[in-house]
């Protein structure tokens, strides 16, 4: 297996938008290692004489997760990728706040390297909150929605 330049670029874009500083991907004989911010760890590295200094940036800390609403259960992202509320642009969202769902109800899609992965509710109940905006990058374990189990 090999990765195309477009796939590598997409992986780089996802890592750049995430809070991660390093990614190592190994699959079927291909190994891809990406690292950012290495020069920012510890003391800055000196550039050889006559070499322009590299610009460094800072990575903002991810926003604090919202507090758990009493009586609700979080539905967490199973992977890193782009969160979509609808099956395609212009289509109705899979769920809205107030939607009744079953454990196997599809509630969202997460796109990873042009692959669309469905996210299921995982529990029966009512959606009480939808946290990420449509089309934004979500991290593994990030709370996507909150669900209130039936009484």
Residues 75 and 124: their CA atoms lie apart, in Å, by 11
CATH level 2 (architecture), domain 73-148: Beta Barrel (2.40)
- What residues pair up with 145 in beta bridges, in sequence order? 75, 130
**Domain map (residue ranges) of the chain:** 5-40, 73-148
**Structure confidence at residue 69 as a pLDDT band (50, 70, 90):** low
Beta strands in 21-150 (DSSP E): 22-27, 30-35, 73-76, 81-84, 100-101, 106-112, 115-120, 125-130, 137-138, 143-148
Give residue 58's pLDDT band: very low, low, confident or very high (50, 70, 90).
very low
pLDDT in tens, 104-125: 999 999 999 888 999 999 999 9
């Amino acid at each position: 297996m090999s990765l195309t330049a477009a796939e590598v670029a997409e992986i780089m874009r996802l890592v750049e938008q995430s809070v991660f500083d390093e990614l190592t991907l190994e699959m079927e004989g291909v190994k891809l290692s990406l690292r950012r911010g290495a020069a920012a760890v510890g003391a800055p590295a000196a550039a050889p004489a006559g070499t322009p200094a590299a610009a460094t940036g800072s990575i903002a800390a991810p926003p604090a997760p919202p507090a758990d609403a009493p009586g609700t259960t979080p539905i967490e992202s199973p992977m890193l990728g782009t969160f979509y509320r609808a099956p395609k642009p212009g289509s109705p969202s899979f769920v809205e706040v107030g939607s009744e769902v079953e454990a196997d109800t599809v509630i969202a899609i997460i796109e990873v390297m042009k692959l669309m992965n469905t996210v299921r509710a995982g529990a029966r109940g009512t959606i009480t909150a939808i946290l990420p905006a449509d089309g934004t990058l979500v991290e593994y374990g990030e709370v996507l929605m909150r669900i209130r189990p039936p009484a």
